[in-house]
Structure 1
Amino acid sequence: MDRTMKAMTYARYGGLEVLEAATVPAPKLPPGSVLIRVKAAGVNPVDWKVMSGKLDGLLDVHFPVIPGWDVAGVVEAVGFDTPEFAAGDEVYAYGRRDSVGGGTFAELVALPVSMVARKPAALSWEQAGGLPLTGMVAQRTLDLLELASGQTLLIHNGSGGAGRMAIQLAVDRGARVIATASGRHHARLRELGAEPVEYGPGLVSRVRRLAPQGVDAAADLVGGVLAETLAVLRGGGRHASIADPSVRDHGGSYVWVRPDGRELARLTALADAGKLTVDVERTYPLEQAAEAFRAGMEGHTGGKLVLTPFSG
């Protein structure tokens, strides 16, 4: 049996130049875990932030690193005492560990069964691979905001991956959604159920025109908008951020989503009920991960960037 695999790796912190394809040992399969053959792996901003060293004070890193936390694929094998899944099952996961090392940008990844859920049948491999982190971030944010039917939610960066997920989840909960985005994304955000507004100078007045009494809740999915959030939040309103820890000093919640297969299964149910979809902007074979990172860093994408298996 071949004990090696192809993966994207980096041996030191840096920019795109440190990312390269390599042959590495295949992961071992601990008890209570599944070995997944990767069909798709979503690209997220945290991937290049970790690679640059920006999260070194938060996470232990074991070089060489295989990046990537999102995955969708087929169960290749199960470890001892893993009755939840069997070889051949189609699954997906948000595979963040407590330390950085063996990620999902590879042919195979082994993950604890607690992180894994069954892939939504309604989604393609690429869509499923792009859902876990953004979907779970959006879901946890709305849970913390205790968003209820009839309330008004402001989403900063509604056109981003987490923003598009949050719009759909909030609409499913019966909320009214106001979402910031550049004009070229407004039509799609309307299709998802939001009332789009242009971000940037004058945002407070634009939101106030739509919600004169203020919004019930605000989800900051970009950072740097605390003043605007507080200016449009009604008395007693709630706010949360995935990018600005300082919100905790102003009565808000800071979100760092946890891997949890049961929480991911909630998204599976919504996707299979036709209430949640994933916009995929472009796919790249794994050997082009640097190009995918570059596109993500440049921003302005209209959906998720997703890696697919090595082309050769």
Structure 2
Amino acid sequence: MSATGYLNDYALNDYAAWTWTPGASLDGLKLARLPLPVPGPDEVLVANTAIALNPVDWKMIDWGRDDWQQGQVPGVDGVGLVVAAGSAVNLRVGTRVAYHQALPRGGSFAEYTLLRAHAVYPVPDALDDATAASLPCPGLTAWQALDKLPACGNRDVLVTGAGGAVGYLLAQLAAQRGLRVWVTAAPKHREHLLQLGIAGVFDYRDAQWSARLREALGPRRLHGVFDTVSDSHAASLAPLLGYNGHLVCIQDRQENAPLPAFSTAVSLHEVALNSIHAHGDARDWQELRHAAASLMQGVTDGRLQPPAKQFFAFAELPEALRRLKSGEGGGKWISLLPAPMVVA
């Protein structure tokens, strides 16, 4: 082996993974045995102990990608133990890591995942696997979205969909930055969000919610809108922004300016976490790893509340994706796998 490290029966030549079938949506997911890979010089092999589901997972399975072939393993988020590392990797075998995988690579819906070493983040000892797995995609997306705004405090911002994982984490991060945060969410989330320091919670099903927000703002206007719904929904919120405001699209992007030229001069932003895998340089990755460490430490210290969790068995992964797609339940869907014995 060119990689260093092994697990108790690395002689085991294959592993279980859920694989994709083109054009078959979630019904095409098949549990298969795949050959266990050996890491390249800059790669690590991770034995997954927790797998988290995200909306992007079922969307990619439904839609497919030009760079996916029959047998692609989906899944972007996971936590596990490094069981083998390439010759250029400065990471100890046995290290517990979280990760967000690039969409074209073999994903987390498997017992093992092969990753670029720069794309894994050591997990604090005090943080459990399930919670750590719930953070990479929504947490790093929220961090990137908030980073679109210039540093400022005591300004008003809106986060839509704060009942979802991205909006929930983003609202907390924005409040911690000193922003006055307003959110939309279902009524069942209202009291909890207010306890986290959110200024006001509006029921997105109320046709008058934006008018109620304007009333609450008084003479002020929003400095930022973070939208998790769609490009058209984000565009409809642009009139709420004040001069030099920021419209941040977390779902979709604005192909056309939503407001007339030379009016409030708003800035348009798109958020695409997966793009860092193809376009990020060393500094971008350094900043992302710092953000991941900050998120996990914030949860460990109690400064950041993680999303609620629902658990499912690995063998029931397609059904869990169906339930996530339908909007059933709430919080993050997590599957726990047994940890391997690792030998340095």
Taking structure 2 as the reference length, what is the TM-score of the superposition?
0.83
How far apart, in 1, do the equivalents of 2:269 and 2:158 lie? 15
Mapped to 1, the partners of 2:328 and 2:257 lie a distance apart of 31
Q: Distance in 2 between matches of 1:303 and 1:191?
A: 18
Q: Return the index of the structure with the highest Cα Rg.
A: 2
Aligned to 2:215: 209
- Alignment correspondent of 1:282: 310
C-alpha distance in 2 between matches for 1:278 and 1:183: 19
- Give SS of 1:225's match: helix
Q: Which position in structure 2 is the counterpart of 1:76?
A: 83
Q: Does 1:4 align with 2:14?
A: yes
Separation in structure 2 between the aligned mates of residue 94 and residue 148 of structure 1, nearest angstrom: 29
Moved more, 141-150 or 62-71: 141-150
> 1:126-141 to 2 correspondence within 5 Å?
126-141=130-145
Contact 1:38 1:107 (8 Å CA) reproduced: yes
Gaps of 5+ in 1: none
**SS of match in other structure, 2:329:** coil
Q: How much has 1:185 moved relative to structure 2?
A: 1.6
Whole-Å separation in 1 of the counterparts to 2:124 and 2:171: 19
| Residue 71 of structure 2 corresponds to residue 64 of structure 1 | yes
Q: Tell whether 2:167 aligns with 1:158.
A: no
Normalization by structure 1: what TM-score? 0.91
Corresponding residue number in structure 2 for 1:256? 272
* Partner SS, residue 239 of structure 2: helix
Alignment counterpart, residue 222 of structure 1, candidates 229, 234, 249: 229
3-state SS of the aligned residue for 1:37?
A: strand
Give per-residue Cα distances to partners, 1:247-293, cap 9 Å, x unaligned. 66343111101354343223233233322232233111221111211
Alpha-carbon distance in 2 for matches of 1:145, 1:120: 29
Runs of 4+ in 1 over 6 A off after TM superposition: none
How many aligned positions are there? 305
Secondary structure at the aligned position of 1:148 is classed as coil
- Overall identity of the aligned pairs, in %: 27
Q: What SS does structure 1 have at the residue aligned with 2:109? A: coil
CA–CA separation in structure 2 for the residues paired with 1:219 and 1:143: 11
Is 1:149 aligned to 2:153, yes or no?
yes
Given candidates 304, 307, 310, the residue that maps to 2:335 is 307
Deviation at 1:94, TM superposition (A): 0.8
Q: Within 1, Cα distance between the matches of 2:17 and 2:37?
A: 11
Unaligned runs of 5+ in 2: 1-10, 259-266, 278-284, 340-344
Structure 2 CA distance for aligned equivalents of residues 242 and 205 of structure 1? 23
Q: Is the 1:118–1:268 contact (alpha carbons within 8 Å) kept by the matching residues of 2?
A: no
Greater strand share, structure number:
1
Cα deviation, residue 147, structure 1: 5.0
Cα pair 2:15 2:33 within 8 Å, conserved:
yes
Amino acid paired to 1:168: Q
Query: Which residue pairs with 1:91 in the alignment?
Result: 97
Alpha-carbon spacing, 1:280–1:203, altered in 2? closer, same or farther (3 Å): same
User: 2:111 is matched with which residue?
Assistant: 107
Structure 2 partner of 1:196: 201
